[in-house]
Structure 1
Amino acid sequence: MTDRNALLEVAHLSARYQRHIVALEDISLTVGEGEIVALLGRNGAGKSTTLQAISHLLPARRGEVSAGRVLWRGADITAEAPHRLVKRGIVPVLEGRHCFVSLTLEENLIAGALARSASRAEIRQGLEEIYQIFPRLKDKRQLAAGLASGGEQQMAAIGRALMAKPQLLLLDEPSMGLAPLIVEEIFAVLTRLNQQQKLSILVAEQNSTVALRHAHRAYVLDTGSVALSGDAQALSQQEDVQRIYLGFAA
């Protein structure tokens, strides 16, 4: 049944790699307007595959959606091309940051605006907005991305996505490989964007502690299926969730 109030709805989604390797099995989730939703689970639980299925990036990894649907404001977008999804406002930030290493940090940001065919004036305005959000990027704007720190690259990857003016930001493991202070800074920025601009966010994250602190709701994946879901604060207080599904000691 379709959730008419959902911005994004994933309905009974299953996915395979190379036609035979089961990656997701009957996953359902929703993201409402102005929500931060966390997608949690151990490594290999299916978090990245879920985001790639929503973004229609599985074919590039020899994967496919084998059942179910992805709906955006009630419209079926399961098979829609990635660039068309970006134009709709669904913008992914892939695991591992994926900056264009030979381009400067500023050129990486501009690449995000080109995805929506922005004018020069819109690009200038967008850059100023990103530099207010991430002042460090303004100081390093002429630095080649390949020479930037991991935190600066992650900020550039998120900034590039924001330059595309998303309605829904899909973030895959934004804390991976980063120092705790940088992780806190990035999640604080995301929360501020959510509160001030009503930006909806679906974030796949192994660092459940920080994700649950900033999210409204969460889904916990286990071997490609939804094992638990609910209010983020309530889930953060359940020791069995930490122990059984997230791999932490009780």
Structure 2
Amino acid sequence: MKRVLVVDDDPTVSEVVAGYLDRAGFAVDVAADGPTAVAQAARRTPDLVVLDLMLPGMDGLEVCRRIRATGPLPVIMLTARGDEEDRILGLEVGADDYVTKPFSPRELVLRVESVLRRSGASTAARAGTARTWLRSGPLALDPTARRATRSGVELALTIREFDLLEFFIRHPGRATSREQLMQQVWGWEFGDLSTVTVHVRRLREKVENDPARPRLISTVWGVGYRFDPPGDQEAEAGDDR
């Protein structure tokens, strides 16, 4: 049974969310403030955290930073704010998903299940012996163990960043819209497209030599993004000569 830690200072929200998660087959812990959430996560590590952005004692951004400092842990953020800057802040500290209040508890359960399915892939596959690495220039991905390296150095990727990089490496040279990425990587038919934008920006910061001038993950204006394998870039440079 997967364990979910629900962190919200509104007892009604916590009760409703916990009830829906319980009926969906999850074990649920509840915390009403930031320090309690950090302590509970340290005492009994959850499989996922549903985390409100506005909390007494310590805001959700700081809670997210602290609980993820000890290792990868899926986080879905909740907030009553609709401002795009707040959504981006949540994603930039490592949240894997973002739901704005008021929200449908059923939708939240689906988001929890989606994130856990992806994060659980590594655990389920570690027992296998056969490993197939995906490689593109200095980048290497092990989809089985969900490990990624750049020039042999381990990359600290969130669940969605890993999924996004895997998609790009599997589809080199293909221009893909943000809507298509949301469907293919997130598994959503609709959602806030700024989520895709922020994750692409964060991924560039980890895989590009110069994130301000990306060469691996290019923006295709009016379309979306394209992954250009390093070998292709060298060939193009050669053609120019």
Fold match (TM-score > 0.5): no
- TM-score under structure 2 normalisation? 0.31
TM (norm. structure 1) is: 0.30
Richer in helix (by share): 2
Structure with the larger RCO, 1 or 2 (CA within 8 Å, 6+ apart): 1
